[in-house]
Amino acid sequence: MTRIVKYIFYDILRTRFILLYTAFLLVSTIALFQLDSDPGKVVMSLLNIVLMVAPLISIVFATIHFYNSYEFIELMLAQPVNRSVIFLSEYMAVAVSLCLAFIAGVGIPMLFYGAGSTGFTLLFCGVVLTLVFTSLAFLASVLTRDKAKAIGIALLFWFYFSLIYDGLLLWVVYTFSDYPLEKVTISLIALNPVDLARIIMLLRLDISALMGYTGAFYKDFLGSNAGAIASVGILLVWVIAPLAWARQIFSKKDL
Amino acid sequence: MLRLIIGSSYANTIVVDRAGKNKSIKRAIVSAQPGDTIRIKPGKYSEGNIMLEKPLVIIGENYPVLDGDHQYEIFTIHANHVTIQGLMFINIGVASINDLAAIKILDSKYLYIRNNRFENAFFGIHMSNSSQAWIENNTLQSNVKVEHQVGNGIHLWKCNHATISNNRIKGHRDGIYFEFVTNTLITGNRSEGNLRYGLHFMFSHNNEYRDNHFVNNGAGVAVMYTTGVKMINNTFEHNWGASSYGMLLKDIRDSHVKGNRFIQNSVGIFMEGSSRIEFTENTFSQNGYAVKLQASCDANNFNRNNFSGNTFDIATNGSLVLNKVNSNYWDRYEGYDLNKDNIGDIPYRPVSMYSMIVEEMPTAVLLWRSFLVFLLDRAEKAIPAITPENLKDDFPSMKPYDFDKAGK
Amino acid sequence: MISIKQVNKTFGKLHALNHVNLELTSGKSYALIGPNGSGKTTLMKSVLGLVVPTSGEIYFDGKLIARDWRYRDKIGYMPQIGRYPENMTIGQLIDMIKNIRQQDTLDEELIDAFKLYKMFDKRMHALSGGTRQKVSAALAFLFNTPVLILDEPTAGLDPVSVELLKEKIQDEKRRGKLLIITSHILSDLDELTTDVAYIYEGKLHYNNSIEALKAETGEKRLGKAIATMITQKQLIDSINA
């Protein structure tokens, strides 16, 4: 497996896209730190990168990469190599390179300017969302043979989790605003990794004081050990479930 | 020469010293004639409660310590013309029925409480039914962590014509507490890290608050049921928490709030049921909400204030707004100024759509900082639909006002 | 060595393989023939595990190949259109496959014969179709596998290279390997194969030795023999219908 990962990794580095992505993150992060002297506020601005940019880049890049690797995958499948190994190697290589790009691009300036433990949480959320959206990209890729269609599905995933889902959530809150919704919404939040990461981040920052009763309830729940473990667990499910499903489809896919 | 003769013939000085002839403050007071001075030498005095019922000047040298042994109130003053100066009060008794204080003043006039230190006083200075008092340069600090085990730093009830200046109050329940206090000047005080409010008053008309600093108090500053308040050049800073306000105004009328700085509060000013207040030349910077204006407020006027770096500039809970916000500087303003008169050519709407949604449905706060909210606010800016039509600044300033320069 | 039993494969409405039963035994060389789109490539890919049958089973050395992959150790595969990571050079590609298969004894005869050494640092996207075929062929024979599956091996090759490749196939055939070859050039198959399997619209219509086919049809050349066999079949079908 490591041999195959190595070859894919090498192939990804050749395209230079990952280097561009790293450079983009580096420049944006450094610019934010330069513009604002308060690290807490920079972390807040970086939250947008974590919640929007990292998932979008991850899912689009991973989908395109998967299609560009079709020849390689085909070649490997004619060799005495396990299908799952090929699939997971592809995932590993893509996910690791995207995560490294994110950690280098956002983490190094943070280390340099000092962002503390909230910075660490931010990095964690960014890495997890990268993994989640890479998984979703692989799912989109095995759902169809058509590259354009797959990119469409990938973008739809991104759009759904970044925007459409929140619209539905707002609708639920509006429709049932006469009922106590805290418990319901916290489970609804768990159904969207972007929202979950966002809430975890908001609660880490002291601006959660502005979130009133709902904020206090979430802080109580997610701040407890059980809540923290549960939220990390749910995020991991979001990484594993789409990937496992995609692997299942891939193992029966004709090439 | 004349003064000395008068002093020696009409007003004696009694020295109290642990190592000297007079060891007891209590006995010195009993033996003193009205108008005498009692000088207390350094040392520790544990004499329980000391009643003071004649005009006396009590001066400590190098802060002699008066210890309440966690049991007693120290001075109970019921006399006019009393001066308490240079003493250190520690360990006042904690009681749930009586408001035990380091210095309690009842039905008195002409009082000077100066340069004293208070450590772990239950109440620091507790004054009722009194007037013409000067409370100056005192330092009060309490280290208790629970609200019901500590009283207020400076507590006035039914008083008038007092001056509270340059005191530092830390760690009490309320730093400064007034009820039915009128015509009083509060200036140059620093009220910090108090468990509840830095300043708390009710039914206290026509007082002036100037150059005070309210920092990092549990719930900030709360003022209620009062008319004719003057708040000038105060600083409200770091009052951060789910139910903390830089300043909470409830049923305040006909008042002036001018030249104050509201910095890093979860809510800069929260107001309800308040009317006819002029807010001018205030700075609102880096607050969660700069101003939360409940629909029960009317005829308030925000003019020439600076708003910058706030998460929300103004939030309100109704669509009918009878207040004015004109000629302020808003850092979020994106308009233009074609005729270069420093006034933006299109109005600024300080209420964001999302803040309206949250007022309506508090649970919607869980969508904060999401892409959806960003888009909603953008859309609302382009086509206003939900935000109150008439809450807008028609003459937004293009540049922040420089109040420092104007003041000097 | 390879048993294909009741294999069906559908792509949507298209019935690519229809109840195919076929025994492929060691030492024989099979010509897989049929018109375009008849299911030849699908059948080959099914044996390789690249295509997963809708139903039916395929056994390799008596073991079910579904969910197995180790048996591919014993197969060398030359695809119809070789698709390779475009950024790699020929050298890197060959090294990578060697690295992945980790086999000590290598057969580099074709690499020498095609003089691929000279082009080792050429990138795959810069190669002509013919060179690409040479790379595919070299890779298929590289590991000296007991089974060789060759999909249109001579297509696109220059005449000299065609001869080199045919010689190589002949050699391997003589060594007793199991060969499965498709080609549109039936004269090539005449020399290279011992048996013939004819597929039409996903169905296996004929499976016998070339000798037997020639005897049945009374033709000397494979091409003629097959043409006759097809006309006979059509005639029978029309009568039955």
Contact at CB, C85 and A77, closer than 8 angstroms = no
Question: B266 to chain A: nearest residue by CA?
Answer: A210
Our CA angle for B374, A234, A86, nearest 5°, is 100
Q: A198: which chain B residues are within 8 Å (Cβ-Cβ)?
A: 369-370
Helices assigned H by DSSP within chain C: 40-48, 90-101, 109-113, 129-141, 159-174, 186-192, 210-217, 222-240
**pLDDT one digit per residue (tens) for chain A, 255 residues:** 788 898 888 888 888 899 999 999 999 999 999 988 777 778 888 888 889 999 999 999 999 999 988 888 988 988 999 999 999 999 999 999 999 999 999 999 988 888 788 888 999 999 999 999 999 999 999 999 899 999 999 999 999 999 999 999 999 988 988 888 888 888 899 899 999 999 888 888 766 667 777 777 888 888 788 888 999 999 999 999 999 999 999 988 887
Res B7: pLDDT: 45
pLDDT value of residue B390:
80
Enumerate the domain spans of chain A: 2-251
C-alpha A194/C-alpha A129 separation (Å) is 7
Q: What is the ipTM of this complex?
A: 0.86
In this prediction, residue C241 carries a pLDDT of: 67
Closest residue, chain A, to B288 (C-alpha) = A210
Q: Tell me which of C106 and B116 has the higher pLDDT.
A: B116
Instruction: Map out the domains of chain C with their CATH numbers.
Output: 2-240 (3.40.50.300)
Q: Give the N- to C-terminal CA distance of chain A in Å, as an integer.
A: 20
- pLDDT classification of C232: cutoffs 50, 70, 90: confident
Q: Is C14 on the interface with A (CB under 8 A)?
A: no
Count of pairs with CB atoms under 8 A, one residue in A, one in C: 60
Which chains have at least 3 CB atom pairs separated by less than 8 Å from chain A? B, C
Q: Which of B288, B360, B370 sits opposite A166 (nearest CB)?
A: B370
Cβ of residue A36 closer than 8 Å to a chain B Cβ: no
What averages of pLDDT result for each successive group of 10 residues across chain B (408 residues)? 47 90 92 94 94 95 94 95 96 89 96 96 95 96 88 96 97 95 96 95 95 93 94 94 90 95 94 95 93 92 94 85 91 90 91 86 85 87 79 92 68
pLDDT score of A206: 66
Give the per-residue pLDDT at B2.
45
**What pLDDT does A48 receive?**
84
Cβ–Cβ below 8 Å for A254 and C52: yes
CA distance A14 to chain C (A): 8
What residues of B are in contact with residue A163 (Cβ under 8 Å)? 371-372, 375
Bridge partners of B291, per DSSP, are B269, B314
The CATH classification number of B42-407 equals 2.160.20
A2 CB near a chain C CB, below 8 Å? no
Q: pLDDT, tens digit, for every residue of A25-75? A: 999 999 999 988 777 778 888 888 889 999 999 999 999 999 988 888 988
Which H or E run contains A54?
helix A54-68
CA distances from C223 to A89, C184, C186, C198, C237 (A): 46, 10, 6, 12, 21
With an 8 Å Cβ cutoff, is C86 touching chain A?
A: yes
Best residue in C70, C90, C99, C100 to probe A by mutation, most A CBs within 10 Å? C100
What pLDDT, on the 0 to 100 scale, is given for residue A208? 67
Q: Label the pairing between strands B329-330 and C2-11.
A: unpaired
Give the CA dihedral B265, A38, B373, A222, nearest 10 degrees: -80
CA distance B361 to chain A (A): 6
- B362 vs A48, A213, A218: nearest CB: A213
From A163, A185, A207, residue closest to B372, measured CB to CB? A163
Contact A181 B363 (CB under 8 A): yes
Count of C-beta atoms within a 10 Å radius of residue A53: 18
Per domain, the residue ranges of chain B are 42-407
Helices (runs of H) and strands (runs of E) counted in chain B: 5, 37
Q: Nearest CA to CA, how far is A236 from chain C (Å)?
A: 27
What is the pairing mode between strands B65-67 and B123-128?
A: unpaired
Is A254–C51 a contact, with Cβ atoms under 8 angstroms apart?
yes
Taking the Cβ of residue C141 and every Cβ of chain A, the question of whether any pair is shorter than 8 Å is answered with no
- pLDDT, tens digit (0-9, with 9 covering 90-100), for C59-71: 999 899 987 888 9
Q: How far apart are CA B361 and CA C110, in angstroms?
A: 75
Q: Which other chains touch chain B, taking contact as 3+ CB pairs less than 8 Å apart?
A: A
Locate tokens 């494979």: which residue?
C222
Chain A partners within 8 Å of B216 (Cβ) = none
